[in-house]
C-alpha cells in the first residue's frame, strides 16, 4: 500500500546538496522532489545505542534535514561492539553529544537537536510534537509502551525495531493512519495497528532478558537499524510499501526474513473500539522490573556487596557458613565471578532441578545466598527458593556488576 508523503518538499537544494545526494536524485522514485522532502523532514530517534547508531548515521547520510536524538546515557566500553556512532575517545561522554558530533562529521547540512534527558510522562509529548516521525531504538518495554501511546495521542507514525542475540524485528505503527489518507487506501489504513495490538501486555517480569543480560550480535543492530531507516524514508517521501500492518522478522543465523500480518485489535486498550488507556500511564508499574513475588521475597532479604565481602571473610575464618549461588548463564560466569560462587543458572530453578543441588532445608547449617548480574534474576530465583522452604535465603543487590565496581575493579565488566 503506497501512502502519501509525510512531509512537503523544501524550497530548494543547494548546489552542494545536489552533489552530495546525486545518487538519490537519479533514482526516479526519489528524484529532486523526494530529496527535498527529506531535507524538510524532522525525525526523532529514541536512543543512540545499538539500533540508534546506524539509524542516526543513515538518516543523516540520506539528507534528513532535522534529526533529534533522545538519549540520556553515557558511552561505555561495552557499547562499542555494536554502537558504531561512538568511538574509543567517546567513552564516558554523553551518548547524545557523541552521536551529534558523529552526525555533523557525516553530514554538515543536517541540523541536530539533542535531548540529553530520559523520556518520561512529563516531557515525551512535548518532545514528540516537534517531529514528523519517530524512530524507536529503545531496549526496554516500559519505554516502548510509552512511545507507542505518546505517538498515538499525537497521531504520529513511528518505526519500531527490536533485537536480541541473533533475532530482530521491525514494523511501522500508525493506528491513526486512516485520518491521513483517503480513497483506495482508506480501507487498508483503517486496519493499521499499534504496538499494543501486537503485544497487548508486556511479558512477565524476568522472562525476557535485556540485551545487557542476554547479549546481541553487533552486526544485527545494523541490519535492523537500516531497515528502520528504509521505512522512515519511504514514509517521508511517499514511495514503496511501508511495513504498516506487517511485522518483519529476521533470523541472522538462518539468514531468513519473514513477514507476518498484524491487524488492528478491536479490543486494543489504546486504539480499539472501547479504549481504556486514554492518557499516559505509569509504565514502570505496568511492565514491572520484577514480579510481585520477587519483590516480596527480596524486600527483607537483600544484602549489599560490601556485606557479602564481609560474609566471605567470616566464612574463610570459620565464623559463618553459606553457599553462594550464581544464577547467570555459563558464558557470563566465564567473564567474571564472585570468588567462591557456584554456578546454577536461573533456568534450573525454573524447572526445579536446582533445588536438588542446594543444602537440605533440614540441615540448618548453610544459608543460601544468590546473585546474578544486576539483582533481577537473583530476586526471581530467591522467590522460588524461599517458597521451597529456605526462609533465611538472601540475594545480593546489584549483583556482580556492583561487585566489580565496588569490590574488585580488576575484573572485567560487561
Contacts of 187 (CB under 8 A, 6+ apart): none
Q: Are residues 117 and 255 in the same domain?
A: yes
Residue 10 lies in a domain: no
Q: Are residues 219 and 330 in the same domain?
A: no
Residue 9 lies in a domain: no
Residue 213 lies in a domain: yes
Residue 312 lies in a domain: yes
Q: Are residues 33 and 59 in the same domain?
A: yes
- Catalytic residue status for 287: no
Q: Are residues 283 and 360 in the same domain?
A: no
Q: Are residues 231 and 347 in the same domain?
A: no
Radius of gyration, alpha carbons of the chain: 24
Residue 326 lies in a domain: yes
Q: Quick check: 155 and 179 in contact, CB under 8 A?
A: yes
Q: Are residues 209 and 303 in the same domain?
A: no
Domain residues for the domain of 366 are 292-406
Per-residue pLDDT tens, the chain, 414 aa: give them. 789 999 999 999 999 999 999 999 999 999 999 999 999 999 999 999 999 999 999 999 999 999 999 999 999 999 999 999 999 999 999 999 999 999 999 999 999 999 999 999 999 999 999 999 999 999 899 999 999 999 999 999 999 999 999 999 999 999 999 999 876 566 668 899 999 999 999 887 666 777 777 789 999 999 999 999 999 999 999 999 999 999 999 999 999 999 999 999 999 999 999 999 999 999 988 887 778 888 899 999 999 999 999 999 999 998 999 999 999 999 999 999 999 999 999 999 999 999 888 887 655 568 999 999 999 899 999 999 999 999 999 999 999 999 999 999 999 988
pTM of the model: 0.83
Residue 414 lies in a domain: no
Residue whose entry in the numeric block shows the C-alpha cell 544464577? 327
Sheet architecture: strand order including 111-115:
111-115, 66-70, 42-46, 133-136, 158-164, 167-173, 246-251, 256-261
Residue ending a domain, among 287, 302, 335, is: 287
Please tell me the total count of domains within the chain: 2
**CATH number assigned to the domain comprising residue 142:** 3.40.50.720
**CATH number assigned to the domain comprising residue 368:** 3.40.250.10
Q: Are residues 276 and 309 in the same domain?
A: no
Question: What is the length of the chain?
Answer: 414
* pLDDT, tens digit (0-9, with 9 covering 90-100), for 96-110: 999 999 999 999 999
Q: Are residues 273 and 305 in the same domain?
A: no
Q: Are residues 273 and 310 in the same domain?
A: no
Residue 349 lies in a domain: yes
* pLDDT, tens digit (0-9, with 9 covering 90-100), for 205-251: 666 777 777 789 999 999 999 999 999 999 999 999 999 999 999 99
Give the mean pLDDT of the chain: 93
Q: Are residues 338 and 314 in the same domain?
A: yes
Catalytic residue among 194, 197, 211, 221: 211
Q: Are residues 117 and 245 in the same domain?
A: yes
Catalytic residue among 197, 221, 271, 372: 372
Residue 413 lies in a domain: no
Kindly state the helix (H) or strand (E) to which residue 258 belongs, with its residue range.
strand 256-261
Q: Quick check: 292 and 306 in contact, CB under 8 A?
A: no
Distance of alpha carbon 22 from alpha carbon 20, whole angstroms: 6
* H-type alpha helices, 154-291: 186-189, 195-198, 211-214, 218-237, 283-287
Residue ending a domain, among 287, 321, 354, is: 287
Distance of alpha carbon 218 from alpha carbon 47, whole angstroms: 16
Q: Are residues 127 and 93 in the same domain?
A: yes
Residue ending a domain, among 287, 304, 333, is: 287
- Catalytic residue status for 372: yes
Amino acid at each position: 500500500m503506497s501512502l502519501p508523503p509525510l512531509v512537503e518538499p523544501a524550497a530548494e537544494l543547494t548546489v552542494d546538496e545536489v552533489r552530495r545526494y546525486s545518487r538519490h536524485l537519479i533514482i526516479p522514485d526519489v528524484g529532486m522532489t523526494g530529496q527535498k522532502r527529506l531535507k524538510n523532514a524532522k525525525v526523532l530517534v529514541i536512543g543512540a545505542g545499538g539500533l540508534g547508531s546506524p539509524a542516526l548515521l543513515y538518516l543523516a547520510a540520506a539528507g534528513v534535514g532535522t534529526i533529534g536524538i533522545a538519549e540520556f546515557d553515557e558511552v561505555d566500553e561495552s557499547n562499542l561492539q555494536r554502537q558504531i556512532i561512538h568511538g574509543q575517545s567517546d567513552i564516558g561522554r554523553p551518548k547524545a553529544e557523541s552521536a551529534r558530533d558523529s552526525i555533523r562529521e557525516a553530514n554538515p547540512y543536517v541540523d541536530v537537536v539533542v535531548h540529553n534527558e530520559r523520556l518520561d510522562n512529563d516531557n515525551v509529548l512535548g518532545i514528540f510534537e516537534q517531529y514528523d516521525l519517530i524512530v524507536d531504538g529503545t531496549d526496554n518495554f516500559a519505554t516502548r509502551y510509552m512511545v507507542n501511546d505518546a505517538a498515538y495521542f499525537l497521531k504520529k507514525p513511528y518505526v519500531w525495531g527490536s533485537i536480541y542475540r541473533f533475532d530482530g524485528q521491525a514494523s511501522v505503527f500508525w493506528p491513526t493512519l486512516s485520518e491521513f489518507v483517503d480513497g483506495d487506501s482508506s480501507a487498508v489504513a483503517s486496519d493499521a495497528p499499534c504496538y499494543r495490538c501486537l503485544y497487548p501486555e508486556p511479558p512477565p517480569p524476568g522472562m525476557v532478558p535485556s540485551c545487557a543480560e542476554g547479549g546481541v550480535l553487533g552486526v544485527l543492530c545494523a541490519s535492523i537499524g537500516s531497515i528502520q531507516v528504509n521505512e522512515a524514508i519511504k514514509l517521508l517521501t511517499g514511495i514503496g510499501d511501508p511495513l504498516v500492518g506487517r511485522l518483519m522478522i529476521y533470523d541472522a543465523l538462518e539468514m531468513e526474513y519473514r513477514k507476518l500480518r498484524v491487524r488492528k485489535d478491536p479490543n486494543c486498550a489504546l486504539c480499539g473500539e472501547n479504549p481504556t488507556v486514554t492518557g499516559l500511564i505509569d509504565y514502570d508499574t505496568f511492565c514491572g522490573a520484577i514480579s510481585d513475588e520477587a519483590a516480596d521475597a527480596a524486600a527483607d532479604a537483600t544484602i549489599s556487596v560490601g556485606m557479602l565481602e564481609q560474609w566471605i571473610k567470616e566464612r574463610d575464618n570459620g565464623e559463618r557458613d553459606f553457599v553462594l549461588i550464581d544464577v547467570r548463564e555459563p558464558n557470563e560466569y566465564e567473564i567474571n565471578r564472585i570468588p567462591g560462587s557456584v554456578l546454577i543458572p536461573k533456568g534450573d530453578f525454573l524447572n526445579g532441578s536446582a533445588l536438588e543441588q542446594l543444602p537440605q532445608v533440614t540441615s540448618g547449617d548453610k544459608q543460601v545466598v544468590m546473585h546474578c548480574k544486576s539483582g533481577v534474576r537473583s530476586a526471581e530465583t530467591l522467590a522460588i527458593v524461599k517458597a521451597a522452604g529456605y526462609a533465611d535465603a538472601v540475594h545480593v543487590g546489584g549483583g556482580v556488576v556492583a561487585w566489580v565496581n565496588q569490590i574488585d575493579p580488576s575484573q572485567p565488566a560487561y
